[in-house]
Structure 1
């Protein structure tokens, strides 16, 4: 029995230490947390301010407004698919970063598009003197729901590979610390988004014309 090649076999854990990624320091943890902070701010702006404006200022029924906003949750299962995609198909040589950047860009664009569709729907409702199911209201409502579907897909494309990236760049010694800091910054983003939204609405005022509110919200988004 030939045994000449047995001496060349090495255990898997004999991989040189320098081939492993460097340990994540505290500054990098907070830098990675900026992504989650952005998600927190976006959630307040997209789901909080738009919900209030549609119901309060544009007289869109709460059921219609909430249903359109909730569409991004119905596509949440695609997170599993994007997680598998980031494992198997890297973008520009990176398994996670490309998905995070592309997804973030797309959901930022989708949020601004949602604002513009919301104004169009509000104009139709005001022109009709109140809400009623017409061809125009149905079309703009369907388009608004479709934009939030796109928003949810883009959010899934970025957030799941980002969570996988946290596992990739950390080890058992600092993974819990990294996850804790990153998800704490999500809460920071929610607080900042709430402050920004409240400040915006106070500056415009409750008696301001709708055009002033529209200009302020467009500028914010």
Structure 2
């Protein structure tokens, strides 16, 4: 009987990974295909494209709003499932529309459809990506809430780790299909490929939520199902004053912020680098995320093994991870300078592997920088640091490409070499703030419970 219950738990856990696998399809298109085609093949300024792609990070606070709405306003007796499906479909429709927007952006940005005003196509493009971000925020918040409501507390951490891994696997599998479907850029093929987002995301998401949530007949019943116990919180002003006046928290915030900026700077320009410097096709640059994702999965498994052995403290785990990432970024810069694809691929494997170390170490440390009375506020603070750093990194990367390379100031080889080197230096600088954090918990070993709670937070 116990074995049947355990098998049902893991079956439910696998089902709950499917919406993240669907998200993996969308991110594969956006960050490994659309960015390269828009910038390289169609010649749109890099800063415009990366700003569009960075928009959804700045919409992360809407997760809180959507979470509160779904708590109070069920649809057809369900508090989570409809919001997950609607959110994912909004995002899928936004991605499906991108090929119809990107060509006018490159040919005649002042006219798109029946709209005609300066930069009309650009405005529509940004609106489309805002819709993507709002949909993703709606789906993300309610998907995590659904996990919390149907998975027992003792299993949530490992299930969330499973879900996070499925996002990477979904991206890897999606990229393999995308590469074979469109090995070279063709606008008609691009349109049909992106339109597949609607059925793929729709079917996979529905399979991931159907039958999971229990239908409730009243808000009171839903309240009883939740294990969240309300706590008295300080005012936001008092909380912010406490954060700013606490050197440990302040330094830890700066560490997270700089680490995410340094690490994420290459996210939306790596495929452009592959095209500009290595002269790779669309299909070939699509392998970059696959290579990185494979390394990340291996790194997380190795980190999990070391955690179960009780072998690493949080500070050491993060330091090892970031040191490895800095080395991989310098190796990436060297590969760019030498115009050597094999060095670039090796750097991406190393980057993904050590990201697993840094991710688990940082998430577990975040959970220590909370208090019982203000846990939600602190987790929100770390989440905002990550989201806004990723958004700023996306915009900054495009600005560097536009200012240094597209302007003709540097050759593509030198420009990307400098950008990757700057990434390494910013990431290395983040370590200085980490080691300035005077908090005893960072010296403690990462244990299973700490890892479980960290993955349950799912801030990455």
Q: What TM-score, normalized by structure 2, do the two folds share?
A: 0.38
CA distance in 2, matches of 1:79, 1:152: 10
Q: Give CA deviations for 1:151-204 in whole Å, capped at 9, x if unaligned.
A: 1001101111000100000112322232122111011012122223333342xx
CA distance in 1, matches of 2:118, 2:29: 24
Partners of 2:9 and 2:151 within 8 A in 1: no
CA distance in 2, matches of 1:97, 1:187: 23
The answer to whether residue 8 in structure 2 is matched with residue 27 in structure 1 is no
Q: 1:137, CA displacement in angstroms?
A: 6.1
Equivalence for 1:209? none
Equivalence for 1:110? 94
Partners of 1:79 and 1:156 within 8 A in 2: yes
Equivalence for 2:191? 218
CA distance in 1, matches of 2:177, 2:117: 33
The answer to whether residue 31 in structure 2 is matched with residue 58 in structure 1 is no
Instruction: List runs of 5+ in structure 2 lacking aligned partners.
Output: 110-115, 195-460
Corresponding pairs, count? 184
Q: Find 2:64's aligned residue among 80, 85, 92.
A: 80
The answer to whether residue 135 in structure 2 is matched with residue 162 in structure 1 is no
CA distance in 2, matches of 1:172, 1:183: 17
Q: 1:142, CA displacement in angstroms?
A: 1.2
Partners of 1:68 and 1:141 within 8 A in 2: no
CA distance in 2, matches of 1:170, 1:119: 45
CA, structure 1 residues 188+64, in 2 after alignment: closer, same or farther (shift >3 Å)?
same
Q: Which moved more, 1:174-183 or 1:143-152?
A: 174-183
CA distance in 1, matches of 2:86, 2:72: 17
Q: Find 1:183's aligned residue among 164, 183, 188.
A: 164
Q: 1:89, CA displacement in angstroms?
A: 1.3
Q: Which moved more, 1:153-162 or 1:189-198?
A: 189-198
Q: 1:150, CA displacement in angstroms?
A: 0.9
Equivalence for 1:129? none
Larger relative contact order (Cα-Cα within 8 Å, sequence gap ≥ 6)? 1
Partners of 2:25 and 2:174 within 8 A in 1: yes
Partners of 1:124 and 1:137 within 8 A in 2: no
CA distance in 1, matches of 2:118, 2:96: 20
Secondary structure of 1:76's aligned partner: coil
Equivalence for 2:104? 120
Larger radius of gyration between Structure 1 and Structure 2: 1
Q: 1:136, CA displacement in angstroms?
A: 5.6
RMSD: 2.1
